[in-house]
Amino acid sequence: MSINWNFNSNDYEETSFKPIPVGEHRVRIAAAEEQQSSKGNPMIKLVLEVSGHNSTIWHYVVFLPTNAKLTNQKLGELWNSFDIPQGNFNLQQWVGKVGAAKVKHEDYEGTPQPKIAYFIARNRQDSLPAWVEPTGGNKKPIFEDIYHEEDLPWN
């Protein structure tokens, strides 16, 4: 097979992305799906949009049978932040919900990558600015999004 493509340089724009700043941000659930962790535990993969930014952050809630207290704490924080009824595992109902999170940076090969440190309780979100839709171009995933995908040829 030979690739036959007529590249048009007018369609190309150089882009650079700054990481989402450390701090408290409103976040919206863009997608939620059930998956299995690398250790075989059930988990929920969340794709979170960040208010005013074109990048997304992927966050994983892993169900740990050996640490039910931690799993329940994480679920409770998520449900509270996004005003999702406790016990609701209908993930399609989660999509579009807005909550808030503290974003931290973790180093990955010398580059800071945004991660969710924790979700902010509903009653502590009033001081945050209202949700702002991302502007200027397509939403771009952070590198972590690409790094964790299982269908990449080098996995």
Closest by Cα among 72, 41, 43 to 59:
43
> Residue 133's pLDDT is what?
92
> Residue 82's pLDDT is what?
98
> Residue 149's pLDDT is what?
44
> Residue 103's pLDDT is what?
96
> Residue 108's pLDDT is what?
85
| CA-based torsion, 91, 30, 50, 143: positive or negative | positive
The answer for residues whose C-beta is within 8 angstroms of residue 130's C-beta and 6 or more apart is 26
Q: How many CA atoms lie within 13 A of 55 on its CB side?
A: 19
- Ranges of the chain with pLDDT below 50: 137-155
Is the pTM above the cut of 0.75? Answer: yes
- Distance from C-alpha of 100 to C-alpha of 108, rounded to nearest angstrom: 24
> Residue 15's pLDDT is what?
65
Neighbours of 123 (CB within 10 A): 7
| Amino acid occupying residue 153 | P
